[in-house]
Amino acid sequence: GWCPLSPAGSQSTQLLMQPPWRPAVLWDRVTLTCQGLGTAGATTWHKDRKLWRQERCDHFTVTESGTYTCDRPGSEHSSPLRVLDAEGGHQLVLQVPAWVLLEGDTVTLHCWG
């Protein structure tokens, strides 16, 4: 399979998601990508604080709710990212952009139910 290389200049391990909405919800077909220092193509994924799987690719599409982190040899764990299963009791979800918002920014909200 094809695996993207990490961007040059990354200072720490980051867990990115597409689409970029928080909270992340399974119905969005969330793809997680691990970027940063360390050996590309040797990503370790953790789910709910337990070793979950080791991948050659640095990305995958989430199929289970839970809290995910990633790391690579020689790097620290990423910040955790929680993915919800909205069918499991979250009947209405308000999503905001995953990036940092500043006062005065125009923002689009997603409300799903």
Q: What dotted CATH number matches 14-112?
A: 2.60.40.10
pLDDT of 90 higher than 80: no
Residue spans per domain, the chain: 14-112
Q: What is the pLDDT of residues 35-80, one digit of tens each?
A: 887 766 788 899 999 998 877 778 889 999 999 999 888 788 899 9
Going by their DSSP bridges, the two strands 81-84 and 24-25 should be labelled as: parallel
